[in-house]
Structure 1
Amino acid sequence: MARNLKALGLWRRALVESVRRDGPDLSARQMAIMLQVYLTDPPHTVRGMAATLNISKPAVTRALDRLSVLGFAKRKRDPDDKRNVLVQRTVKGSVFLCDFAELVIDAGAVTPEDMAVVLEEERIAAAAKARLAAQLVTPAPEAAPEAVADAAVADAVA
């Protein structure tokens, strides 16, 4: 029971903060569709989302209407199968979800211990990236002595 209350309290804190902000309020269905589109690999179709979420295609369409108006998702006909409607991500939708993720983190979803692990993993990854970049940078080959001499003669003649 305590775990349930903690989880619900976390969700409440994130939602309350989301409502207090100036952004749009999304229904649970709209948020579920957003998370499905942004957190799973494409392609995303109306038919597929209806099946995954166990809701009707018209319910998905209504939610997508709102998400499209907000600029959080866009629809496009599948060029290979005109019966399918593909749902695509947008930059604005990505920004919205990044901001919402920060609200969840601030609400306490990520403990200080979890954050320490994440920061350490990011530090290790950055160090590995720097080592790899240093290895990829190859120094310019030194000129052979004959080439240096030839260049000096050419400069002297000119």
Structure 2
Amino acid sequence: MDIAAKQALELWRGVMVLALQKDLPDLTSRQFTLLLHVYLKDQAHTVRGLAEELNMSKPAVTRALDRLGGLDFVRRKTDDKDRRSILVQRTVKGSVFLREFGDMVEIYAAEVSG
């Protein structure tokens, strides 16, 4: 799919407007990026690993996870193999949220391209 920068920005704007109209949870770009990373990268995620992969500080990852955990989009669990590590796990509610958001992107993209 080849689109110009202006088209990409219009797609993003349109989807964000739809999200506002649907009264979806208001996530910061860091929170949303972290959520997408956890769901789209099929691997075990730790707070330390997320901080390194996303070039964020561990406290910033923790704050984002606090918000996402409060929405039940992710949960944290102590790693049984290494009690010092905290695993970040997906939830059903987070999966549903991202599926609905992905559907909005698909619908809006079809509207503006058709």
Q: TM (normalized to structure 2)?
A: 0.91
Aligned equivalent of 2:33: 32
Pick the structure with more helix per residue: 1
Unaligned runs of 5+ in 1: 113-158
Unaligned runs of 5+ in 2: none
User: Number of matched residues?
Assistant: 111
Over the aligned positions, Cα root-mean-square deviation in angstroms equals 1.7
Q: State whether residues 10 and 109 of structure 1, in contact with CA within 8 Å, keep that contact through their aligned partners in structure 2.
A: no
Q: State whether residues 75 and 86 of structure 1, in contact with CA within 8 Å, keep that contact through their aligned partners in structure 2.
A: yes
What is the identity, as a one-letter code, of the residue corresponding to 1:52?
E
1:107 Cα offset (Å): 1.7
Q: Does 1:107 align with 2:111?
A: no
SS of alignment partner, residue 24 of structure 1:
coil
- Describe the superposition over 1:30-65 as per-residue Cα deviations: whole angstroms up to 9, x where unpaired: 111111111111210001110011010000000000
1:109 Cα offset (Å): 6.4
* Cα distance in 2, alignment partners of residues 19 and 29 from structure 1: 18
1:66-77 equivalence runs, <5 A? 66-77=67-78
- Describe the superposition over 1:97-128 as per-residue Cα deviations: whole angstroms up to 9, x where unpaired: 0000011111216967xxxxxxxxxxxxxxxx
**Percent of counterpart pairs with the same letter?**
53
Q: Does 1:51 align with 2:52?
A: yes
* Cα distance in 2, alignment partners of residues 22 and 10 from structure 1: 18
Q: Which runs of structure 1 show a deviation greater than 6 angstroms over 4 or more consecutive aligned residues? A: none
1:1-150 equivalence runs, <5 A? 3-108=4-109
Larger Rg: 1
- Describe the superposition over 1:39-94 as per-residue Cα deviations: whole angstroms up to 9, x where unpaired: 11121000111001101000000000000000000000001111110000000000
* Cα distance in 2, alignment partners of residues 23 and 54 from structure 1: 27
